[in-house]
Amino acid sequence: MKILVPVKRVIDYNVKVRIKQDGSDVDLSNTKMSINPFCEIAVEEALRLREAGTASEVIAVCIGPKIVKEQILAALAMGADRAIRIDVEEQPEPLVIARLLAKVAEQEDAGLIMMGKQAIDSDNNQVGQMLAGIMGRPQGTFASVVKIEGDEALVTREVDGGLQTVALKLPAIVTADLRLNEPRFTTLPDIMKAKRKPIAETTAADLGVEVTSTQQQLSVAAPATRQAGIKVASVDELVDKLKNEAKVI
C-alpha cells in the first residue's frame, strides 16, 4: 500500500506574525518558514507504517511555487521515498487543494492519505475532510492512534469529550492530531540523501483542475489588544479585585 502525505509550507510556529501596513494580509517577507507541524506528524506516522511493513512507499506531496522544495526536502530527509510538487503561484483555497490532491491520490492509487489536521496559518481544518468527500472515502480526523488491520484502518480520534475509535475501510483519509507521535529529527546524512531522491513536478492544468477562488479576503487586522493589567501583591488583594473591581466572582 502506498501512503500519500501532503505537506504544507507555513510560517514557523514560533514566529509572531506581523500584519501588513495596508491591512491586506499578514507580512511573510523575510520570515522563517517550516513544514506545518501537523504535516510533520503525518509524515512520521506514514514512515512508521512503512517501517512496520504495512506500507510499501511514502510519497510526499506539496503544493506551491519552487520555494516549497525546502519543505519537500525536509519530508524526504525524514524518510519519505519520493515527492510530487504541484506547481501553483499562490496557495489555493482548501477545496482546490483537495481537488488537486484527489487527482494525485487517484494517479498514485494511494491506499492511505495521511495528513495534518490543520495548517497553523489559515487554521481551516478542512482539506482532509474535503478530500475524503470528493473521493467518496471514509475519514478518520484528529487521529491520536492509527492501526492498520487487514483492509481496515482503526483510528482513535481526539474528540471533545475524550476519545473515539472508528474502523475505516481502506482506502481512507486520516488526519493527524498532535499526540499521534513525536516526529523524528533529521541528520546531515539524511539531508544529503534527500537531495538525491526524485521530485516529480506537475501543474493544476496537467491534473485537470481549475484554480478558482470563491472567497475574498477583504482585510486582515491585528486582534484587539488587551488593556495592560496590574500585578497584585497578595491572594487577598487578588480576591478583593475579582470581587469588587472586576465583579467576576
Partner 1 sequence: MSVLVYAEHDNASLKTETHKLVNAAQKMGGDIHVLVAGEGCQAVAEAAAQIDGVAKVLVADNAAYKHQLAENTADLVVELAADYSHIVAAATTTGKNFMPRVAALLDVAQISDIIGVESEDTFVRPIYAGNAIATVQSSDAKKVITVRAASFDVATTDGSAEVTSLDVVKGSEKSDFVSAELTESERPELTAAEVVISGGRGMQNGDNFKLLEGIADKLGAAIGASRAAVDAGFVPNDMQVGQTGKIVAPQLYIAVGISGAIQHLAGMKDSKVIVAINKDEEAPIFQVADYGLVGDLFDVLPELENSL
- Give residues 201-240 in contact with partner 1 (rule: CB under 8 A): 214-223, 226-227, 229-236, 238-239
The reply on whether position 158 binds partner 1 by CB under 8 A is yes
Distance CA 245, CA 160 (A): 34
Q: Residue for cell digits 503544493?
A: 63
In contact, 19 and 222? CB cutoff 8 Å: yes
Binding of residue 196 to partner 1 (CB under 8 A) = no
Q: Which of 35, 177, 181, 194 binds partner 1 (CB under 8 A)?
A: 177
Q: What letter does residue 124 receive in the DSSP assignment? A: -
Q: Which stretch binds partner 1 (CB under 8 A): 53-61, 77-85, 114-122, 195-203?
A: 114-122
Residue ranges in 82-111 that form contacts with partner 1 under rule CB under 8 A: 93-95, 98
Q: Which stretch binds partner 1 (CB under 8 A): 44-52, 82-90, 123-131, 193-201?
A: 123-131
| Residue from 89, 90, 123, 210 binding partner 1 (CB under 8 A) | 123
Q: How far is CA 62 from the centre of its chain?
A: 11
How wide is the angle at C-alpha 123 spanned by C-alphas 117 and 128, nearest 5°?
Answer: 35
Task: Please tell me whether residue 159 binds partner 1 under the rule CB under 8 A.
Answer: yes
| Residue whose grid cell is 507541524 | 37
**In the range 24-53, which residues lie near partner 1 by CB under 8 A?**
26
| CB of residue 225 to partner 1, shortest distance in Å | 9
Q: How many residues in the shown chain lie near partner 1 by CB under 8 A? A: 78
Smallest gap from Cβ 39 to partner 1, in A, equals: 14
**Number of Cβ atoms within 10 Å of the Cβ of 90:** 9
In whole angstroms, how close is the CB of 13 to partner 1 at the nearest point? Answer: 7
C-alpha cell at 94: 482548501
> For residues 3-22, which are near partner 1 according to CB under 8 A?
11, 13, 16-17, 19
Binding window for partner 1 (CB under 8 A); candidates: 42-50, 54-62, 76-84, 171-179 = 171-179
Q: Are 59 and 101 in contact (CB under 8 A)?
A: no
Spatial separation of the C-alpha atoms in residues 220 and 199, rounded to whole Å: 35
Among candidates 67, 100, 68, 94, which has minimal Cα distance to 206? 100
- Of 165, 195, 200, 201, the residue at the interface with partner 1 (CB under 8 A) is 165
Residues 94, 124 contacting (CB under 8 angstroms): yes
